[in-house]
Chain A
Amino acid sequence: MPLHATLVFANPRDRSNAEPARFGRHFAPFFFFNGILYEPNRSSSASKPPPTLGRVSFLPVPDRGRVARGIPRRHPGNHSLSSALTTASQNRPRSTVAMSSNADTAQAKSRSGRLPRKRFYRARAHSNPLSDSHFPIPIGPADFDYCHHYPYFFAPGSGGRSDGDAPPRKVRFADIGCGFGGLLVGLSPLFPDTLMLGMELRDKVTEYVKERILALRASNPGHYENISVVRTNSMKYLPNYFEKGQLSKMFFLFPDPHFKEKNHRRRVISLQLLDEYAYALEVGGIIYTITDVEELGDWMRSCLEDHPLFGAVPEEELELDPVVKLLSSATEEGQKVARNGGQTFRAVYRRIKLEEE
C-alpha cells in the first residue's frame, strides 16, 4: 500500500514511468470555486502521502485521466463540477485501494463486453527473463488446467473430453511473448477449432490480455473461446506446458533484441532454446519469427539455419499461408512499425527430422 501511495505522488508531468496505479494527474488539496477547479501550485516532489481513505464504493464514471489532461470528455451531460468531484474523489482512493478491486471492476466491465483500457495496464517493455519470479507453474503438461482457460471446450468436471471419443484437445499454437494479445485475437477467427495459448512474462500485460479475451468472449458469444493467456517464463518452463510434439505453430513476434552482447543470452531465440522449441513442435510444425531490428533478424535467421532440426520454408509456401500476413499487422508492435515505415525481417522455419549420417 505505501508503495502505491508514493508512486502516485511522483512527478506528475513525468509520464514515462507510468504505473497502472497512477491515473493521470492527481489532486492534492483542491478547491472548487464556482465550478472551476483551482489547484494550488503543486511541488514537483512528493510532499506527503495522501490521506488513506477507507474503501470507497465505485462511481460509474470511468474517465480519470482525461479530465486532468483537459481533453474533452466522452461522457455527455456531466458538467465539469460533478465530474471533477467524482474523478477527484476517485483519484486518491484509487491509489489506496488494492489492485484486486481494480480487477473486480475490470472483470465486471469485460463481462459486459467493454474492452480494457491499455493505459491502466502499462508496464515496462522489458522484463528480466533470468529472474526467478514467483508464479505458479504446472508440474507437467498433464497438469495444465484446460478447464480454466478454455471453458467452452472443457466443461469442468468432464475430464477434458469435448465430444464423445475424440481425444482431448490440446493447445496447438503458442505465441511466445504475446504482449497485448494482438496476434491471438487475429488468429482466433482463422482457426476456430484450434486452441491457442499466449505466454507472457509481465503480469500486468497478462492481466490486460485476460480481460481483453473475456470481454471479447462476452460481446461475441461462441467466438474467441479458443484463445487464452498464461503468465509464465516460457524460456525456462516451456516443457512444463507442452508435451513432445504437441504444437503445430510457434510465434515469436518482435522479441526483445537485447542489444548488448552480455545480454545476448537473454534472447528468446538461441541455439540452446531451439532444442526445447524443437521438442515442443511436431515434425512439420512451423516456427514464425519477425522483428524490426536487423541485427536480431540476422541472429534469429542464423540460429534457425544452423540448428539441425529446422529447415527453411520456401517463399512460395509463405505466400499461401494466411498466418504470415498477420505477423506484421496484427500486433501492436507490428502496427507501430508500419506507422513508422520501418522494415521487418521475417524468418519462418519448419521443424524437420534429424537426418541420420
Chain B
Amino acid sequence: MEETTEIVSDGGDEAAPAADVENGLIEEEKNMDGEVAPALISIHPFEKSVVVAVGSELRLFNLEGNCSVSLIDDPSGPSHSDAIRSINFGPSGKFLASAGDDKLVKIWETSSWHCIRTVSADKRVSAVAISHSGQYVAFADKFGVVWLVGLDEDDAKQTKVDKKAVPILGHYCSIITRLEFSPDERFIASANRDFKIRITVFPKQPLKGAHEIQSFCLGHKDFVSCFAFACPPGCAHGFLFSGSGDSTVRLWDFISGLLLATCEVGAKVGLLQYNGTEDGYPPVTDLCVSSDGSIIAVVTLEDNYFPTSMVLSFSKQRLWMVMGASNLPTLSTTQLPTRIRVMSGFHKDPSDYNGHDPITLEDNEIPGGKKLLSELQGSSDVTMEEAALAAAVKSSMRNMLIKKEYALERREMRKRNRNDRKRR
C-alpha cells in the first residue's frame, strides 16, 4: 500500500508538468450570485459520449456513433433556464444528472436521452451526484443542505415532475462545492467553503436521513473546491484527494479523517511560471483522478488556456478539457463559445514512461474530430477567440472564487428579496 501511496503522491509531480504544458486549469467552482457560470464537461464512464454544459445549454456528442445527439426534454415540464452548475454521469453510465441556478435537477437516461425526472429544489443547486447503483441522486444547494431523490426503476419510462426530495444532511450555512459517493457506496462526501470535508455514512435507508457522520477531513486552510475518490488496487477503502483555494492538494484516509499527504501545487506551479500579481499562490480549482489513483490532474487558476472543467477518461487515458463560460461581459449573451482540448499520452505505470510527455491532441486527432468540436463548441471557428476568451473567463472566475462583499445598500435589498420561508 505504501507503494501505491508513493505513486499517488508522485501523481502530483506528474500533474505539475501537465499543468506546465497547459498552464493551469480552472473548474466549476460554485459561488453565490456568480453571474458567470463556467462551462462543464463530463464524459460517460465507458467513453460513449461527451457532454458539455455551458450556461443553460447542454450539448451532447455521441462518441460511439460519432454523431451529435440532442437531448429530449420533457415537454410538459420546465427545462433548464439558467446556468447549469453541475453535471454528473452516474458511475454505471445509465443516467446523467444536471442541475443549476434555475433550481432544477434534471435526470436524463443515457440510452434514449429522455429526461426521466425533474426535481425542483428550494435553492440554487451547486453540486449533484449519482450513486453507484443508480438508485439515488443527491444534490446540494447553496445553503449547505444535501437532498436525496430516489430513482425507481419502473419509472424509467415515464417522466415525473416534482417528486419531493428529502434533505438528508446539512452543512451549516456554507455552500457545498462538491458532492460524491464513495466507490463502495458506503459513504457520501461533501465539501464546503468553510474548509471542511464531511464524510457521512450512507445508510441502507437513506431517505430517512444520513445522520451518522463518519469523519471530518480538516486541514485545508481555504475553501475546498474539488475532491475525488481513488481506489488503488490492494487498498481496501480507497483514498480521497481534495484540492482547495489554499493551493494544495491533500490526500486523506477518509474513514478516519487523517491527513496523509499534502502537495503544494501552487508552489510547484508558481515556480515554473507565475507572474505573481496577486498575493499568495493560485487556488486549485479542479482536479480529477483516475480510478486507481495513479494519475491526478490538477487545475489552478492561471493565465493562458485553462479549462473551466475537465474529466479523465479511465479506459482510454485521455484528459478532456473545456474552457468557456456563460454571460461573459465581453461577448454577447447569445454566443456561448467554448474551447475543447484533449490531452493524451498518460501512462498508467510510471516505469513505463519512456520519455513521452502528455501532449495535447490536435483538433482532428480528437475522437469525433471536427464534428465533435463544431457541435460542442457552439461555433466552428473559435481559434481566434481563444486568447480573448481565456482572458475574459479568467477574470470572471477569479471573481467567483472570492467571497463577495456587498455594499450596504445592496445588502438591504438582498435581504428583502431573500426567500427564507419554509417550504409548504
Contact = CB atoms under 8 A, between A and B. Distances in A.
B140 to A, nearest CB: 12
Contacts of B218: 139-141, 239-240
B219 A275 contact: no
Interface string B88-106: 0000000000000000000
Contact of A308 (B145, B171, B211): B211
A273 interface: yes
Interface string A266-309: 00000111111011000000000000000000000000000111
B174 A309 contact: no
Interface residues of B, number: 34
Given A261-B421, A262-B420, A275 B196 contact: no
Interface residues of A, number: 30
B194 A236 contact: yes
Contacts of A336: none
B209 A271 contact: yes
B216 interface: yes
Given A244-B215, A262-B421, 12 more contacts: A129-B173, A239-B196, A239-B216, A239-B218, A265-B143, A265-B420, A272-B171, A275-B212, A279-B213, A308-B208, A308-B211, A309-B212
B403 A132 contact: yes
Interface string B206-239: 0011011101101101000000000000000000
A357 interface: yes
B170 interface: yes
User: 5 smallest A-B Cβ distances: which pairs?
Assistant: A272-B170, A262-B420, A140-B218, A279-B213, A239-B216
A306 to B, nearest CB: 9
A305 B421 CA distance: 24
27 contacts: A139-B221, A141-B218, A236-B194, A239-B196, A239-B216, A240-B218, A244-B213, A244-B257, A261-B420, A262-B420, A262-B421, A265-B143, A265-B420, A272-B145, A274-B211, A275-B170, A275-B200, A275-B211, A275-B213, A278-B211, A278-B213, A279-B216, A308-B209, A309-B211, A354-B203, A357-B204, A357-B205
Contacts of B208: 308
A125 interface: no
Contacts of B221: 139
Question: Looking at chain B's contact residues, is the secondary structure mostly helix, strand, loop, or mixed?
Answer: loop
B172 A236 contact: yes
Contacts of B219: 139-140
A130 interface: yes
A141 B218 CA distance: 9
Given A239-B218, A262-B420, A272-B145, A130 B173 contact: yes
What DSSP secondary structure best describes chain A's contact surface?
A: helix
Nearest to A233: B172
A337 to B, nearest CB: 28
A307 B211 contact: yes
Contact of B172 (A141, A244, A261, A272): A272
A208 B204 CA distance: 48
Interface string A59-88: 000000000000000000000000000000
B208 to A, nearest CB: 8
B71 interface: no
Contacts of A244: 213, 215, 257
B162 to A, nearest CB: 23
A230 interface: no
B121 to A, nearest CB: 16
Interface in B262-321: none
A312 interface: no
A354 B172 contact: no
Nearest to B193: A132
Contacts of B216: 239, 279
A347 interface: no
Contacts of A239: 196, 198, 216, 218
A275 B199 CA distance: 12
A236 B211 contact: no
A237 B195 CA distance: 10
A262 B417 CA distance: 13
Interface in B133-167: 143-145, 167
Nearest to B213: A279
A139 B172 CA distance: 17
B96 to A, nearest CB: 29
Contacts of A323: none
Contacts of A272: 144-145, 167, 169-172
Interface string A321-357: 0000000000000000000000000000000001001
B284 to A, nearest CB: 17
B419 to A, nearest CB: 9
B211 to A, nearest CB: 5
B356 interface: no
Contacts of A279: 213, 216
Most buried by B among A236, A237, A262, A264: A236
Contacts of B144: 272
A235 interface: yes
Contacts of A140: 218-219
A132 B192 CA distance: 14
Contacts of A354: 203, 211-212
Contacts of A141: 218
A263 B422 CA distance: 10
